[in-house]
Structure 1
Amino acid sequence: MTFSIVGFDPKTKELGIAVQSKFLGVGSVVPWAKAGVGAVATQSYANTTYGPKGLELMEAGKTAQETLDALTSEDEQAEFRQAGIVDAQGNAATFTGEKCYDWAGGVTGQYFAAQGNILVSEETVQAMAKTFESTEGTLAEKLLKALDAGQDAGGDSRGMQSAALLVVKEKGGYAGYNDRFVDLRVDEHPDPIKELIRIYELQQLYFAPTKEENILEIQGEVRTELISQLNRHGYLENTTEVNDETLFQSLTTYIHTENFEGREQAQGKIDLEVLNYMKK
């Protein structure tokens, strides 16, 4: 009742999972990952111990395939399980028990494993694989595009309900305190993958670092537009003869209220992404 893809980026060392299912809150069950260790997707009558146990085994030095073999060999109900694993060296493995509901199966390639059950056909898994291999961009972008392609190829034969994206990276979480680089869930939605993509774009807006080419000097047309937008949003009452200090204080209040601290610039400058958001 689920299709997923686990992946690894050899350049950034990111590990992640993207998943969709006709199941409420699939993100609370399927994806497990730890930076520098590996990523696990456990599904089809999911044995959620595959997540923490799988990560423990890989942290102890087991490869993805060795980990999957160990997990299934100890599980008396392995015939009903499905799982995909990628380790921190990029090795991938997938498993589909003989009693998983058709269509069920998986495929591995360089740095990824894609799998699904109760699918319209195997085209969903093949589409995920081909898209992951051919897509340029970040690991999150590759996983999302692969998931979307899987849905376009048929997806879960019962329909859609929830989706999730988990990407881990050393000190990749908020303020560098944990490894949850991207951790997003859509628990109930008529089109969960599209909604997940929308939320991911918001996550990037709020938390991705400012691009050097997007740092603008607050002068001329930029200054005029900023004053107009701050006034429109209620952060600046008087728009005539606004001095630099007042403008800076108003912009700072807006940035802190709207959670754009990650894109805050020195006085006299603004991130273009923030200004564009204000215009919407």
Structure 2
Amino acid sequence: MTFSIAARCPRTGQVGVALASSSPAVAARCAHVRAGVGAACTQNVTDPRLGPRLLDLIAAGSTARDAVRHTVDTEALVAWRQLTAVGLDGSPAGYSGEHVLGSHARALGADCAAAGNLLRHQGVPLAMVDAFAAQPELPLAQRLLDALTAGLAAGGEAGPVHSAGLLVADAVPWPVVDLRVDWASDDPVARLGGLWRLWEPQQDAYVQRALAPGRAPGYGVPGDRC
């Protein structure tokens, strides 16, 4: 009941996730990013512990493929899970267990991994990968949104979509983009796009407010020496 994409931008070093689901608050459970490490999704009868576990393995030196393989080999209930992972380099990776729900599929790109379960059409993940690759010059968040929109247009999941999320990490320890539509009856993916358009021009200013508040737009103080 979820379709998602985890990705990186080699140009900027950003990593991120975009996803949508018929379940509420999908991004709260399934999306995981870590600056300087990678991005991961854990979905389908979700175990939120698996996202941080994948990122811990990548941070310790594993490739995304090795991190997924190790998790599959050591997690007792992994047959119920669907996983994707992307590091800062190396090949993206994914896994679908034998108990994943309904029509499901995965697709890998040069810098991304997409997956979905209870899909209306098995071509959804591939449509997401193709859309993500289409305009590499765009900000990572926009490319992730384009991929999510393409997945929805390709059929999305079999049921109505009610929640969506967008998560991007950059050079600071916290996500620079963390946007969610936790429950909506009318097109949460479009609503998420509206939130991104609101957030994008303010994104850098909020980082600056944390690192050098006296120099942040609208917060300058005469004689500031930060």
When residues 141 and 262 of structure 1 are mapped into structure 2, their CA distance, relative to the original with a 3 A threshold, is farther
The residue aligned with 2:223 is none
1:153 aligns to what? 154
Q: In the TM superposition, what are the counterparts of 1:1-280 in structure 2 within 5 Å?
A: 1-136=1-136, 137-171=138-172, 178-190=173-185, 191-208=187-204, 263-264=217-218
Supply the distance in 2 between the matched residues of 1:135 and 1:45 (Cα, whole angstroms): 33
Which stretch has the larger CA shift, 56-65 or 120-129?
A: 120-129
CA distance in 2 between counterparts of 1:141 and 1:67 reads: 27
Cα contact 1:64–1:91 (8 A) shared by 2: yes
Whether the 8 Å contact between 2:177 and 2:203 is mirrored in structure 1 is no
Structure 1 contact 10–90 (Cα < 8 Å) conserved: no
CA distance in 2, matches of 1:91, 1:170: 22
Local SS of the residue matching 1:29: helix
* Cα distance in structure 1, aligned partners of 2:112 and 2:135: 13
Gap regions ≥5 residues in structure 1: 172-177, 210-260, 267-280
* Separation in 2, partners of 1:90, 1:131: 21
Gaps in structure 2 of 5+ consecutive residues = 206-214, 221-226
RMSD over aligned Cα atoms: 1.7
Structure exhibiting the larger radius of gyration computed from Cα positions:
1
- Indicate if the aligned counterparts of 1:206 and 1:263 stay in contact, CA closer than 8 A: no
Number of residue pairs the alignment of both structures matches: 209
Is the helix fraction higher in 1 or 2? 1
Return closer, same or farther for 1:140/1:90 CA change in 2, 3 Å cut-off: farther
SS at match of 1:101: coil
Quote the Cα distance in structure 2 between the aligned partners of 1:125 and 1:68: 18
Q: RCO greater where, 1 or 2, for CA within 8 Å and sep 6 or more?
A: 2
Percent identity for Structure 1 against Structure 2: 33
Structure 1 residue 125: Cα displacement: 1.1
Q: C-alpha separation between the residues in 1 aligned to 2:57 and 2:196?
A: 30
- 2:61, 2:36 → 1: CA distance? 11
What does the per-residue CA deviation read over 1:59-98, in whole Å, with 9 as the maximum and x for residues that have no partner? 1100001000111111222121101100121530011112
Q: Distance in 1 between the 2:135 and 2:150 partners?
A: 11
Superposition deviation, residue 170 in structure 1 = 1.1
* Counterparts of 2:90 and 2:7, CA distance in 1: 8
Tell me the alpha carbon deviations over residues 238-260 of structure 1, each in whole angstroms, 9 at most, x when there is no partner. Answer: xxxxxxxxxxxxxxxxxxxxxxx
